[in-house]
Amino acid sequence: MSLKREIISTPHAPAAVGPYSQAVRVGNFIFTAGQIALIPETGKLVEGGIEAQTDQVMKNLTNVLDAAGSNLGNVVKTTIFVTDMADFAKVNEVYGGFFTGDPPARSTVQVAGLPLGANVEIEAIAIV
């Protein structure tokens, strides 16, 4: 069986800020790029702190998954990158509100910096 790569792109999520795709579908799996809190219409980072950034990240992730024919309920694994682990509880609260059923597996990592001054980035692996 030969698997084919399908590039996923949607105007309802931020355009790539580098040489990468918003997501790639291989078979029944979708691998998203990390999403930061850019507003798709303006390309600007959302204002309002870590909660607002996390909310925008999750909306962007939802839109990418939707374009790929999936949704948050089909996410099997996420990785969260934060610039300050002291924000973990706030990120966790907003993130948790997007998963109404059984949540996916997850890793959270503190990093020294994220693109465009973002404070949180989330990537996901989902099934279709």
Q: What one-character DSSP code corresponds to residue 34?
A: P
pLDDT at 2: 80
CATH number for the domain that contains residue 65: 3.30.1330.40
- Taking the C-alpha atoms of residue 44 and residue 101, their distance in angstroms, rounded to an integer, is 31
Check whether 1 has a pLDDT greater than 70: no
Domain that holds residue 19: 5-127
Tens of pLDDT along 12-47? 999 987 899 999 999 999 999 999 999 999 999 999
Using alpha carbons, select from 74, 64, 65, 62 the residue that is nearest to residue 104: 74
pLDDT at 100: 85
Tens of pLDDT along 66-79? 999 999 999 999 99
- Taking the C-alpha atoms of residue 105 and residue 41, their distance in angstroms, rounded to an integer, is 31
pLDDT at 73: 97
| Alpha helices, DSSP H, located in the chain | 49-67, 88-96
Confidence band of 127 (pLDDT split at 50, 70, 90) = very high
Question: What would the two tokens of residue 40 be?
Answer: 């798709």
User: Which amino acid would we find at residue 22?
Assistant: Q
Angle at 100 between CA 32 and CA 76, to 5 degrees: 35
Please give the helix or strand (H or E) that residue 107 lies within, else none.
strand 105-110
Confidence band of 86 (pLDDT split at 50, 70, 90) = very high
- Taking the C-alpha atoms of residue 57 and residue 71, their distance in angstroms, rounded to an integer, is 14
- Taking the C-alpha atoms of residue 62 and residue 78, their distance in angstroms, rounded to an integer, is 13
Tens of pLDDT along 93-110? 999 999 988 999 999 999
Using alpha carbons, select from 90, 15, 92 the residue that is nearest to residue 49: 90
pLDDT at 87: 98
Q: State how many domains the chain has.
A: 1
